[in-house]
Amino acid sequence: MAGLSAGCFLSKSSSVAILERESHAGTQSSGRSAAVFIESYENYTVSGLTMDSKDFFLDPPKGFSDHALMRRRGGLSLVGEGEERLAEEFLELWSQRCPSLKVIDKEEALSRVPSLKSGAFVHGIFDPELYDIDVNELLAGFSRSIRQNKGELFFDFSIRKFGFDEKRWLVDGAKQSITGSIIINAAGAWANEIASLAKVDRCPIVPCRRTALTVQSDERSKSWPMVHTLSKGLYFKPEAGDLLISPQDETEFAAVDAFPDEIDVATAIDRFESVCSYPVRSVKRAWAGLRTLAPDRVPVIGPSNRNPHFIWLAAQGGFGVQTAPALGKTIAGFLLDAKEIPTEMRADRFEDYVR
Domains belonging to the chain, first-starting first, are 2-67+134-203+296-350 (3.50.50.60), 75-128+206-293 (3.30.9.10)
Give residue 354's pLDDT band: very low, low, confident or very high (50, 70, 90): very low
| Cβ neighbourhood burial of 343 (10 Å; 0-12, 13-18, 19+) | exposed
Q: What is the pLDDT of residue 278?
A: 87
Rounded CA separation 121/305 (Å): 48
Sheet containing 36-37: order of strands: 36-37, 131-133, 70-72
Residue 183 pLDDT greater than 60, yes or no: yes
Alpha helices in 128-227 (DSSP H): 135-148, 191-197
Rounded Cα distance, 75 and 224, in Å: 9
Q: Which pTM value belongs to this model? A: 0.94
CA neighbours closer than 13 Å in the CB half-sphere of residue 181 = 5
Burial class (CB in 10 A: 0-12, 13-18, 19+), 4: buried
Per-residue pLDDT band for 224 (boundaries 50, 70, 90) equals very high
> CA-CA distance, 30 to 313, in Å (whole number)?
14
Helix H segments across the chain? 2-10, 44-58, 84-94, 106-112, 135-148, 191-197, 262-275, 324-337
Over residues 122-129, the mean pLDDT reads 98
Residue 351: is its pLDDT beyond 90? no
DSSP bridge pairs for 227: 76, 236
**Residue predicted with more confidence, 26 or 275:** 275
pLDDT for position 283: 95
